[in-house]
Structure 1
Amino acid sequence: MLIYYDTSLQRFNMVSLVLIWLFFTGFFVVAYFKKDISFIDVGWGPAFSWLFFSFALTSFNQLGWLQYLVAALVFAWSLRLAIYLHGRNKKKGVDPRYQELSKDWKGHYWINAYFRVYMVQMLLCLIVAAPIIVVMLSSESAIDLISIIGGIIAISGLVTESVADSQMATFQKMTPKPGKFCRIGLWKYSRHPNYFGEIVFWFGVAIVALSAQHGYLGLIGPVFLTFLLLKVSGVPMLENKYKNHPEWPAYESQTRVLVPFPR
């Protein structure tokens, strides 16, 4: 069993990583011709589906219901996110976050973009996708109570994220003037309900992965994602943007950072 597991891992290292690299490099090439570095956002969701697909092609393990459950969850999440971000970015153009990120770059802009954005995103994807990798490396393929509970949690997170994004889109249509804070639906109670849904989704997938061999390693993904969103690129970046807004103190005191629940 150990040899069987190690052989799959070796094939993943040699072939799947190349396929994943080709995916991100392909998106970089498209971004180069579009002159839009933020095009990577559209590829973030599909990257996880591609990771699953590339590993399925190279794994010796036979796919079972456990793998199919993870595939269904990840495919649904990635498709929704890709459609949403494509529609959002098409209206906004180049994301200001990337303009801010690149202003201090020295040297060739697109070389910096490739290594500092696209290759970094690839690395982040591999870490967040830990539960997917664990499930695909495992010879266990049966669904049990733990994986069912994890699936329910993941679906609830996906629904929460979808509702939050839909409510924000509705608010932006109703309030074309920038500088106003969304206070409808989930946004009435949380400043980042979409991030909350994202975190819940990936913890759900990680709980599904607990049914696999070494499933506890899958928890690395959502824990790392939570750290990123709360401490690095998500909440801090957005809230720093609005900290000098005159309505910010009141808005901050009336809503929670993450969990959509009344104060």
Structure 2
Amino acid sequence: MNVGMLSFLIISVYFFLFFLVGTFIRNNSIVDMGWGIGFVILNLILTFLYPITLGTFIFTVFLTIWGLRLFLHIFKRNYNKPEDFRYATWRKEWGKWVVLRSFFQVYLLQAVFMWVVAFPIHTLYPAKQPITYLTILGVLIWIIGFAFEAIGDKQLSDFIHNPSNKGKIIETGLWKYTRHPNYFGEATLWWGLALISYSLSCNGLSFIGAAFITFSLCFISGVPLLEKRNASKPGYDEYKRKTSVFIPWFPKK
């Protein structure tokens, strides 16, 4: 069994366990908590199956830092709260078919998405190349992306938890330069991981995951949904006019 097939098997079993728990507690939003930590678990399993090199160790460290931070961020946001409105809406719409449709349209779909995004992991093992300047460049790109995601999430969380900001839009910090700094950071750090993986494997398929998650965030699940959700907020049109949608840039006057 090649690494890609093995990875899909591991991811499928992982999300099936989440499906069982989510069905039992009637809360499918737990699948969101499984996203970041799932990559960490997959990568750690593969590190036990293949020889560890300095390159794979570096990759593992940065992937684990990202995955654990994202897991803790989502866990803190969702802990002891009812099912997210998206999954609650689907639960009502699906009626008696909720269990079956949840399996296919929530958990199995997430498994497929994770497998595609995880291409830098599939292609990394077994790593055959030594560390090069491309590895270092990948680390630097990851650091930039991680900073945007982590700082952007923290600034947004602090803004939301301030009662005086209810109904307002955040226009300070990183949010002054891009309307979605956390999404920009997520995409960027995956390009960093892809470059690290490519430098160690010389496999161009390493970039599939980064390309997929960038496209998804920009055109499917990330930016479009939040832009639509925020469109009715006072001042958002002006914020859109002067602030870059994704790639950070100085605001227009």
Decide: shared fold, TM above 0.5.
yes
Q: Distance in 2 between matches of 1:117 and 1:48?
A: 17
Q: Distance in 2 between matches of 1:12 and 1:106?
A: 38
Q: Please state how far the C-alpha of 1:182 moved relative to its aligned partner.
A: 1.0
Q: Does 1:18 align with 2:9?
A: yes
Q: Unmatched 5+ residue regions in structure 1?
A: 1-9
Question: Which amino acid in the other structure matches residue 99 of structure 2?
Answer: W
Q: Please state how far the C-alpha of 1:96 moved relative to its aligned partner.
A: 2.0
Q: Please state how far the C-alpha of 1:91 moved relative to its aligned partner.
A: 6.1
Question: Which amino acid in the other structure matches residue 134 of structure 1?
Answer: T
Per the alignment, residue 153 of structure 2 pairs with 165
Q: Please state how far the C-alpha of 1:101 moved relative to its aligned partner.
A: 4.8
Instruction: Provide Cα deviations, 1:15-68, integer angstroms capped at 9, x if missing partner.
Output: 443332221111222222332111111110011011112223444xx2201111
Q: Distance in 1 between matches of 2:86 and 2:240?
A: 22
Is residue 11–residue 58 contact of structure 1 (8 Å, CA) maintained in 2? no
Instruction: Provide Cα deviations, 1:193-237, integer angstroms capped at 9, x if missing partner.
Output: 000111110000111112133432111111100110011111111
Q: Distance in 2 between matches of 1:178 and 1:110?
A: 36
Q: For structure 1, which segment, 49-58 or 249-258, has the greater mean C-alpha deviation from structure 2 after superposition?
A: 49-58
Distance 1:178 1:90, change over 3 A: farther
Q: Does 1:36 align with 2:27?
A: yes
Per the alignment, residue 197 of structure 2 pairs with 209
Q: Distance in 1 between matches of 2:29 and 2:245?
A: 26
Q: Distance in 1 between matches of 2:41 and 2:234?
A: 44
Is residue 206–residue 221 contact of structure 1 (8 Å, CA) maintained in 2? yes
Instruction: Provide Cα deviations, 1:116-166, integer angstroms capped at 9, x if missing partner.
Output: 1111111111111111111124333x2111101101110221121111111
Q: Distance in 1 between matches of 2:156 and 2:80?
A: 14
Match of 1:27 among 7, 13, 18: 18
Q: Distance in 1 between matches of 2:193 and 2:224?
A: 25
Q: Distance in 2 between matches of 1:45 and 1:120?
A: 15
Give TM-score scaled by structure 1 length.
Answer: 0.88
Q: For structure 1, which segment, 220-229 or 32-41, has the greater mean C-alpha deviation from structure 2 after superposition?
A: 32-41
Q: Does 1:226 align with 2:221?
A: no
Identity of aligned residues (%): 33
Match of 1:89 among 51, 63, 78: 78
Q: Distance in 1 between matches of 2:136 and 2:79?
A: 37
Is residue 190–residue 261 contact of structure 1 (8 Å, CA) maintained in 2? yes
Question: Which amino acid in the other structure matches residue 174 of structure 1?
Answer: N
Match of 2:97 among 102, 108, 117: 108
Question: Which amino acid in the other structure matches residue 12 of structure 2?
Answer: W
Give TM-score scaled by structure 2 length.
Answer: 0.91
Residue correspondence of structure 1 range 1-263 to structure 2 within 5 A: 10-12=1-3, 15-59=6-50, 62-90=51-79, 92-101=81-90, 104-105=93-94, 107-140=96-129, 142-175=130-163, 178-263=166-251
Distance 1:176 1:120, change over 3 A: farther
Q: Unmatched 5+ residue regions in structure 2?
A: none
Aligned length, in residue pairs: 251
